[in-house]
Amino acid sequence: MIQGRALARRALIAILVAAAPAAALAEPRAGAAPPSREGPAAEPGHTAGASERARLTIEPAGHAFTRLSIENPLGDVKVEGYDGTAIQIESHKFAPDDDSLDRLHISLVPNPDGTVSIKTAVDGGKEVRPVPRAAMRIDLVIRAPRDARVEAEAGSGALEIANLDAGGDLDTASGPIFVRNVQGEVLTHSVSGATRLVQVFGSVDAQTLASDVDLDTISGERLVASVHRGRIEGQRVRARYVELTTTEGRIRLEAEAALRGHLVVSSLFGDVNVQLRRHGAVVVRAKGNKVDLGAPARPQPDGWVESSFGQAADAAAATAALVEIRSPRGNVNFAIIESRP
């Protein structure tokens, strides 16, 4: 019985192209690999049971793909940009048995405006034998045109995008987020999944409730990162406006000050350490349990202390970068690690 079901399933396309109007815009390439059902042996990271791999290529028809929308509450999503025009999808399903595997579905809907929607789901119903959601999984690996923007949602699965030129909007509950070598605006939101952004060339807004945020080589007009319970680590940051805030967690930032730039680094309970590469004049204002600005500081009437670096007192003051550092319950440390006129 299992063998017969497996043979019948191989004759079907694992990813269904839904909606009649969309079918005229993108169709599976002839000769797409049929689904391959695998035996009960367990794969690394998964319990023993049934699994199935499938591959599908979607070619554009009349309009280039410009946006990819993905909703996968059942597993991981990885999207990598490439120089082609098609969308290539590889899915890997896991379930305790063949009957449960048949309940896992992936729908794909291309739209006239160049957007493509991909969603995963589990069939339910009173007549279906209950299976724990954690025992059923779908992982997606997608290659998309570089200039397509990616919008993706996941639950406990990981979200990863790389080598894209139009940015992305990523949202997880507890799954980690990883962004690498992406140009354009990047937005990330997570409840408890760690966030790591590496080589992002565009504005960034990274928000998380209870996890860490790691930033490396961020270059854009604006960088905003906010954490309630967790740390923020940033290095090789170059943005005109930077705002990093935590409630419970330390902040460490190594950045380059831009002319007329504004950096705001604030933690309620955590220590704050800022190292700055200075190009021109910089004015630093700080307030904390213990403050060390690496230079004589002038007390201000509002309770802050202030120090200037470079020619901030003369005509160059109009282009001076402003740095504001605050930690009411923690320590504040600031240092200039490189200076240029």
Q: pLDDT by residue for the chain (341 residues), tens digit each?
A: 333 333 333 222 233 333 333 333 333 443 355 666 565 444 555 555 899 999 999 998 878 999 999 999 999 999 999 999 999 999 999 999 898 898 899 999 988 889 999 999 998 755 566 677 678 899 999 999 999 999 999 999 999 999 999 999 999 999 999 999 999 999 999 999 999 999 999 999 999 999 999 999 999 999 999 999 999 999 999 999 999 999 999 999 999 988 789 999 999 999 999 999 987 889 999 999 999 998 888 888 888 999 988 864 444 567 789 999 999 999 999 999 876 65
Rounded CA-CA distance 205/224 in Å is 5
Closest listed residue to residue 276, CA positions, set 320, 246, 223, 235: 235
pTM of the predicted model as reported, rounded to 2 decimal places: 0.84
Give the three-class secondary structure for 22: helix
> What backbone torsions phi and psi does residue 125 show, to the nearest 5 degrees?
130, 155
Rounded CA-CA distance 285/307 in Å is 7
Q: Which residues contact 168 (CB under 8 A, 6 or more apart)?
A: 79, 149, 150, 151, 152, 161, 179, 182, 184, 186, 187
What pLDDT was estimated at residue 259?
78
Rounded CA-CA distance 285/278 in Å is 15
> What backbone torsions phi and psi does residue 135 show, to the nearest 5 degrees?
-85, -5
Angle at 45 between CA 41 and CA 49, to 5 degrees: 30
Closest listed residue to residue 264, CA positions, set 216, 206, 307, 325: 325
What pLDDT was estimated at residue 83?
96
